[in-house]
Amino acid sequence: MKLLQRSFMAVLMAAAFVACSDDGKDDTPNPEPTPDPTYRVVSFEQDENVTDYLGQPVTLGPVDVYSSGSVANSQEHVFWAKPYATEEDDYEQKYWQGPYFQALDGEVMFGGYYDDGTIWDMSMSGKVTDTWGGFALSQQANKQASTSDYANQFDVWATGGANGTATFAVGYDSNTAGEGYMEPKEYNAPQIDFAKAVKPVCLYLANSTYTYTYFTGEATDSYAVRITGWLNGTEGKSVTCTLVDGTTRVEDWVKVDLTSLGEVDKLTFKSLITAGTYTPCYFCLDDLTLE
């Protein structure tokens, strides 16, 4: 956890000046100075004690992504919900839904969704196809890819995490990607839950390498992420960050101001795409700052 505090020197000097007043007869009580806010930053680094829902330290490592029972691609530095999936009786599938890793001593919880695809296997052969949504963690930066490839779904179009860090979160809005043919599920879109209400200050977003390379610079290209604050089950204000706009694509991390959302106990993330078109609904997130 990073702590960022402003200096109180000016306040202390002002207090000293009042104490040294040559009058000494003014009994009007001085108001207590309002302390400057303290900021906490979630950047997913190893020294921040990021843990899974069992309280165990999160470790990034190699993962294999399956399609129809065989390994479609392998990744080296990833953490996702698959290891926490358990058997479901109805379809004998492995399934997970809900928060599965946390930061700031459990105060900030990141959700995800996973199933092994058995429910979608019409042949009922039980061949595993990894299906997921929500958040994962990664350290894979990739600005070398020239074509859009599913194997780059955990990569960020940058040189690393935001502000010189190594680890970042990958968001996949599988609800939006599957609109029209699958029922939306909670945590199948990226969602952050807070143990108590907080005031978000900002975060950083970047394009996923998979999404960045999908767009080819057409005037009609468009991709954005809408961030919505919630409090006590009521939807509040939203902020939208555009990552692709015609011929312009965000090339690195961009800071997103969240102060207009006010106090929240949940943040949800929605990919905004052109209706009726396919878009890889991925983005990358880092340095979530809370007051």
Q: How far is CA 207 from CA 33, 131, 233, in A?
A: 42, 21, 29
C-alpha–C-alpha distance, residues 187 and 174, integer Å: 9
Which H or E run includes 18? helix 9-19
Instruction: Render 184-232 in DSSP notation, one character per residue.
Output: --TTSS-EEEEEEEE-EEEEEEEEBHHHHHH----TT-EEEEEEEEEET
**What pLDDT score was predicted for residue 35?**
61
C-alpha–C-alpha distance, residues 252 and 23, integer Å: 58
- The answer to whether 219 and 247 are in contact (CB under 8 A) is yes
- The answer to whether 136 and 169 are in contact (CB under 8 A) is yes
**What pLDDT score was predicted for residue 8?**
32
CA dihedral for 168, 112, 60, 39, sign (positive or negative): positive
pLDDT tens by residue, the chain, 291 residues? 444 433 333 333 333 323 333 344 445 555 666 666 789 999 999 889 999 999 999 999 999 999 988 999 999 999 999 999 998 766 678 999 999 999 999 999 999 999 998 766 555 556 789 999 999 999 999 999 999 999 999 999 999 999 999 999 999 999 999 876 677 889 999 999 999 999 999 999 999 999 999 999 999 999 999 999 999 999 999 999 999 999 999 999 999 999 999 999 999 999 999 877 889 999 999 999 999
* CATH topology classification for 40-290: Jelly Rolls (2.60.120)
* Sequence-distant (≥ 6) Cβ neighbours of residue 109 within 8 angstroms: 53, 99, 101, 102, 192, 193, 194, 195
Nearest of 150, 190, 149, 197 to residue 173 by alpha carbon? 190
Count of CB atoms situated within 10 Å of the CB of 261: 20
Instruction: Render 170-187 in DSSP notation, one character per residue.
Output: EEE-HHHHTTTTS---TT
C-alpha–C-alpha distance, residues 257 and 152, integer Å: 28
What integer best gives the mean pLDDT of the chain? 87
Instruction: Give how far the C-alpha of residue 46 lies from the chain's centroid of Cα atoms, to the nearest Å.
Output: 17
Q: Tell me the two tokens of residue 99.
A: 């928060």
- The answer to whether 145 and 209 are in contact (CB under 8 A) is yes
pLDDT in tens, 182-191: 778 899 999 9
**What pLDDT score was predicted for residue 123?**
57
**What pLDDT score was predicted for residue 37?**
74
**What pLDDT score was predicted for residue 237?**
98
